[in-house]
């Protein structure tokens, strides 16, 4: 397996050669959604980032096992893990079983992924489906001296881990500074140190989701599930762990601590983090009121939206920026993306009609190498897109006869151009062609009815009859009445 | 909560008043798919049956918690449970992790449900997600004397259960006859009695899916998951348990035994079983080669299919037969269903244009009562459909002026007619209107180009220009070339 792929490893903060542990296999783990509410566009960006990583790794020949979890329990309402389980809270509000909430939002999440043509992962494990594996991991962490139980809860000993292995490498947090910033919260007095985090929580009375464990009835700490599930499906050591930038701390630093705490191994070889989507410079978040849903985006039904945008326009908008940069949402930027995407797809549609020549004046190998090196350079989709526009230019020049392309080159170019658009960047033809057709039928019929009326007025009955008969043969019948002519599609 | 719903209880073999345990809440459990291969149309019928049950219970005001499981482990290849775990076997063949197989076919299953407009259940629990609950149930069965462990496996003591509680009530099987028909199979010698079934199986070397348990590494017996999950989400006693007829024995009889064995309570108050889909009189099954997939059905790409049929045509075909009858698939029957469904939908489309009068000559209350009593009579969809055709007739008579309808009655009728079609029977408008539009655009454009050419030949440039300009305003541009005129949609 030859590859010259480089990626930016957020742990070492360096762009490095990608050398998988066990090629051609690649293990990729990405933190999935917490299914207690609808996903918003900011979440979509993160999943899209790793969709393209998954697609490109497959495209260059790796066999990728892509695991993206569903957090259906254990995500506390604040990161100091003193809060209430988010899912259980919502469930009590709605007077329903927590798994009903989970079901509703898992379906919703899958719908959204489909709308944006984000591929399903190879495995989509749930936290509630891996309680046994999480309990086993807690036992191992305790056995290796990095966890301690107090009254039915188990905490990770951050101070000890810091001394022996070093804590916070990913986020670069300094443990003493963290300590100074940590307030002593109620109910946390059982921790040896305020920085310690729960890996198993005792279920208080009324808590809806709990399971038996060696420490009594309880539920896993939020950080634990990703450690347990990445390990189960990818092994103690695997290739890439991804997630949104905001998960670096504490979630991912805690994962590393848990992994080493349980097995002595850190888990992923490379860490990748996608950057945020902002709106007018502020992070998109439900709490900010700027986190519109995909549906609002498509319909334009949100105060921040001047119009609706198609899912592929949004996908294009996001991929025109590198995943590691922040991306600011604005109507101007979206409209520009809409134009850009349409221009790209027009190029694609024109491709089919190109005439081939004896020889080529265009250099396809060169172009192909540039596309590949863009993606090999830490999945640089904006550069790839600029090369695809070079491709569109080439198509136009060949179409107008100012450049020529040989059959061999055409076949090669066409395959690559299409692969980059549909396979790697994951665009898809949108169904609105047919919606437009619906609108067209109405407009075209109005025109034909007008022409027929004019023909009749001019006593040109041949034309009037021709229109009626040809429409009949299309399965469309005209009905004349005192109010005018209407049509019916049979 | 007033209701006069009757259902056929397959345990007592009687049509009985439906009296939920805790109205207005209803607990409904239905055996879901085993996700190791694509679902075929026979499976779809079973899920459709309970989709209509779910829809109608909601429609008449119950608050239904509908649980339909996903069997992602533990379904053995033969019912004598000597076989290999179906999912693990497939996984080894494909050299993938079993959960990758599960992921693929779970997605596929959800796609198929969506195509046929079968609603998602309230909760869709997986067997692998409830190992702890299954282990707890095994422990309870052992504690109450109905289970015994041999070398890491646990079996249910059918003979003892038969003596104390009676086994096989649902299927009506006689335990001594069963005994005579049971061959002693290899590896089953550890059972006290050949009729005993595994509730926990020791994982042999190489078995891919296994979990720790009080009896060592193993996995749950197939029958156990439905007992454990119905109990967890609906309680020890709940209202309705449904499934395909072929699940009566051994699956459902084993469930009853396990429920009583663990809790002393039988679980569901009512049992409902949907009948089979046959093809030329034989049960539709993958092993018979007559189990076409929904995709084959829609495209018509299967040797038994003379054409493709739309999902709503198939839904109509199935609902035109009572769920408790066998239904034989044939191209003639499907074509008839296609006509019938179209006639119903034409009636629906004509509804909007009806003119109301001062008084009604039609009796809506009568019609409404007949519709309700059809569904109240064990969900009799074929009778309901016949009343909907009465409704179509009424629409036509009112449209032609031979009957009249008052505004009040019209509003009432319209609401009910639409509710029965879309809410209760779950039909949906199909997207192929827009596909037809696509075809229409082509035909209409050809006609317009022809008319414009004729106008030019007649030196009627006003008309020719009018056609070009009005098309422009629709976003369609004409291109004249020596080969003729083509058009482009912008």
B-chain residue closest to A213, CA distance: B132
Superfamily grouping for domain B6-274: HUPs (3.40.50.620)
CA distance A386 to chain B (A): 23
Query: What digits encode the pLDDT tens for the residues A306-334?
Result: 888 999 999 999 999 999 999 999 999 99
C-alpha distances in Å from residue B333, one per residue of A313, B45, B341: 44, 15, 12
| Across A342-369, average pLDDT | 94
Cβ distance B107 to A121 less than 8 Å, yes or no, reads no
pLDDT at B476: 83
Helix and strand totals (H; E) in chain B: 16, 15
pLDDT at A211: 95
**Disruptive mutation site among B433, B436, B479 for chain A (greatest number of A CBs within 10 Å):** B436
CA distance A412 to chain B (A): 27
pLDDT at B84: 57
- Contacts of range B395-404, beta carbons closer than 8 Å, 24 or more positions apart: B395/B347, B395/B350, B395/B351, B395/B354, B396/B347, B396/B350, B397/B362, B398/B354, B398/B355, B398/B362, B399/B350, B399/B353, B399/B354, B403/B361, B403/B362, B404/B357, B404/B358, B404/B359, B404/B360, B404/B361, B404/B362
d(CA B117, CA A206): 37
Please check the confidence at residue A434 and state whether its pLDDT lies above 90: no
Say if CB B146 and CB B161 are below 8 A apart: yes
- The mean pLDDT of chain A is 89
List the single range of A191-200, B19-28, B75-84 with lowest mean pLDDT.
B75-84
Cβ distance B132 to A433 less than 8 Å, yes or no, reads no
| Across A270-288, average pLDDT | 87
pLDDT at A239: 96
Cβ distance B136 to A212 less than 8 Å, yes or no, reads yes
pLDDT at A484: 77
**Contacts with B123 from chain A: Cβ below 8 Å:** 97, 99-100, 102-103
pLDDT at B339: 96
**Contacts with B65 from chain A: Cβ below 8 Å:** 97, 100
Query: What digits encode the pLDDT tens for the residues B286-320?
Result: 777 788 888 888 888 888 888 889 999 999 999 99
Please check the confidence at residue A165 and state whether its pLDDT lies above 60: yes
Res. B438 pLDDT band, cuts 50 70 90: low
pLDDT at A86: 64
The three state secondary structure string of A36-72 is: CCCCCHHHHHHHHHHHHHHHHHHHCCCEEEEEECEEC
Q: How far is CA A385 from the centre of its chain?
A: 18
Q: Tell the CATH topology of B279-424.
A: Isoleucyl-tRNA Synthetase; Domain 1 (1.10.730)
Cβ distance A433 to B431 less than 8 Å, yes or no, reads no
Please check the confidence at residue A80 and state whether its pLDDT lies above 50: no
- Which residue among A99, A122, A436 places its CB closest to the CB of B103? A122
Query: What digits encode the pLDDT tens for the residues A203-251?
Result: 987 778 899 999 999 999 989 999 999 999 999 999 999 999 999 999 9
Cβ distance A97 to B433 less than 8 Å, yes or no, reads no
Res. A489 pLDDT band, cuts 50 70 90: confident
Cβ distance B132 to A131 less than 8 Å, yes or no, reads yes
What share of chain B in percent tops pLDDT 70?
A: 91
Q: Where in chain B is the domain with CATH 3.40.50.620?
A: 6-274
Please check the confidence at residue A55 and state whether its pLDDT lies above 90: yes
Q: What is the CATH number of domain A311-323+330-424?
A: 1.20.120
List the single range of A384-398, B88-102, B180-194, B208-222 with lowest mean pLDDT.
B88-102
- Please, which residues have CB within 8 angstroms of residue A5's CB and are 6 or more apart in sequence? A17, A18, A57, A60, A375, A376
A-chain residue closest to B104, CA distance: A122
Res. B434 pLDDT band, cuts 50 70 90: very low
Sign of the dihedral defined by the CA atoms of residues B109, B111, B115, B121, in that order = positive
- Which residue among A131, A435, A451 places its CB closest to the CB of B434? A435
d(CA B159, CA B162): 5
Question: In this predicted complex, what is the ipTM?
Answer: 0.82
- Which residue among A132, A444, A445 places its CB closest to the CB of B212? A132
What share of chain A in percent tops pLDDT 90?
A: 67
pLDDT at A78: 38
Give the residue, A428 or A302, on which the prediction is more confident: A428
Cβ distance A100 to B110 less than 8 Å, yes or no, reads no
**Contacts with B132 from chain A: Cβ below 8 Å:** 131-132, 211-212
Q: Where in chain A is the domain with CATH 3.40.50.620?
A: 20-274
Cβ distance A211 to B132 less than 8 Å, yes or no, reads yes
**Disruptive mutation site among B27, B131, B474, B487 for chain A (greatest number of A CBs within 10 Å):** B474
pLDDT at A139: 98
pLDDT at A475: 75
Res. A299 pLDDT band, cuts 50 70 90: confident
pLDDT at A90: 52
Class of domain A20-274 (CATH, top level):
alpha beta
Res. A88 pLDDT band, cuts 50 70 90: low
- Which residue among A122, A131, A439 places its CB closest to the CB of B100? A122
d(CA B82, CA B358): 73
Q: Which string of DSSP letters, residue by residue, matches B135-151?
A: HHHHHHHHHTTSEEEET
**Contacts with B463 from chain A: Cβ below 8 Å:** 451, 454
Across the A/B interface, how many CB contacts are shorter than 8 Å? Answer: 121
| Across A65-85, average pLDDT | 68
List the single range of A84-98, A368-382, B11-25 with lowest mean pLDDT.
A84-98
Query: What digits encode the pLDDT tens for the residues B450-478?
Result: 899 888 888 888 888 889 888 887 778 88
Q: Where in chain A is the domain with CATH 1.20.120?
A: 311-323+330-424
Please check the confidence at residue A19 and state whether its pLDDT lies above 90: yes
pLDDT at B185: 52
**Disruptive mutation site among B133, B210, B433, B444 for chain A (greatest number of A CBs within 10 Å):** B444
Report the predicted TM-score, pTM, of the whole model to 2 decimal places.
0.85
- Which residue among B99, B436, B451 places its CB closest to the CB of A451? B451
CA distance A207 to chain B (A): 15
- Which residue among B99, B438, B474 places its CB closest to the CB of A123? B99
d(CA A102, CA B123): 8
| Across B187-210, average pLDDT | 85
- Which residue among A100, A437, A471 places its CB closest to the CB of B123? A100
Under DSSP, the state recorded for A247 is G
Q: Give the side-chain half-sphere CA count within 13 A for A195.
A: 22
**Contacts with B448 from chain A: Cβ below 8 Å:** 444, 447-448, 451
Beta strand spans in B268-374 (E) = 268-274, 277-279, 282-283, 327-329
């Amino acid at each position: 397996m030859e590859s010259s792929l480089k990626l930016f490893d957020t742990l070492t903060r360096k762009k490095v050669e990608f050398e998988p542990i066990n090629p051609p296999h690649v293990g990729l783990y990405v933190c999935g959604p917490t299914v207690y509410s609808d996903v918003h566009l900011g979440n979509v960006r993160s999943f899209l980032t790793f969709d393209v990583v998954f697609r490109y790794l497959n495209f260059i020949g790796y066999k990728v096992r892509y695991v993206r979890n569903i957090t259906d329990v254990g995500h506390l309402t604040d990161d100091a893990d003193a809060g209430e389980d988010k899912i259980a809270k919502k469930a009590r509000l709605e007077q329903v079983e927590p798994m009903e909430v989970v079901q509703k939002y898992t379906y919703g999440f899958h719908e959204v992924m489909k709308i944006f043509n984000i591929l399903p992962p190879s495995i989509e494990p749930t936290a509630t489906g891996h309680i046994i594996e999480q309990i086993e991991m807690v036992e191992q962490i305790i056995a290796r001296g990095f966890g301690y139980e107090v009254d039915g809860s188990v905490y990770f000993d951050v101070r000890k881990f810091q001394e022996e292995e070093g804590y916070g490498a990913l986020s670069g947090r300094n443990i003493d500074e963290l300590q100074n910033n940590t307030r002593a919260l109620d109910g946390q007095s059982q921790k040896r140190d305020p920085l310690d985090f729960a890996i198993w929580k005792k279920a208080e009375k009324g808590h809806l989701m709990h399971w038996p464990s060696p420490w009594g009835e309880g539920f896993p700490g939020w950080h634990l599930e990703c450690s347990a599930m990445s390990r189960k499906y990818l092994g103690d050591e695997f290739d890439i762990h991804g997630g949104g930038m905001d998960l670096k701390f504490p979630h991912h630093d805690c994962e590393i601590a848990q992994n080493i705490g349980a097995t002595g191994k850190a888990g992923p070889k490379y860490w990748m983090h996608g950057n945020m989507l902002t709106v007018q410079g502020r992070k998109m978040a439900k709490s900010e009121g700027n986190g519109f849903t995909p549906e609002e985006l498509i319909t334009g039904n949100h105060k921040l939206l001047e119009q609706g945008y198609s899912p592929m326009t949004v996908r294009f908008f996001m991929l025109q920026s590198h995943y590691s940069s922040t991306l600011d949402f604005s109507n101007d930027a979206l409209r520009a993306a809409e134009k850009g995407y349409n221009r790209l797809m027009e190029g694609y549609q024109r491709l089919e009609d190109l005439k081939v020549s004896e020889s080529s004046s265009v250099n396809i190998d060169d172009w192909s190498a540039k596309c590949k090196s863009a993606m090999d350079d830490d999945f640089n989709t904006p550069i790839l897109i600029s090369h695809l526009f070079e491709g569109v230019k080439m198509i136009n020049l060949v179409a107008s006869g100012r450049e020529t392309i040989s059959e061999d080159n055409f076949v090669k170019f066409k395959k690559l151009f299409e692969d980059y658009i549909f396979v790697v960047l994951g665009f898809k033809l949108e169904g609105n062609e047919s919606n437009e057709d619906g609108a067209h039928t109405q407009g075209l019929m109005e025109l034909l009815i007008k022409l027929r009326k004019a023909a009749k007025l001019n006593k040109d009955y041949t034309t009037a009859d021709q229109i009626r008969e040809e429409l009949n043969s299309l399965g469309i019948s005209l009905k004349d009445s005192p109010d005018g002519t209407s049509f019916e599609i049979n």
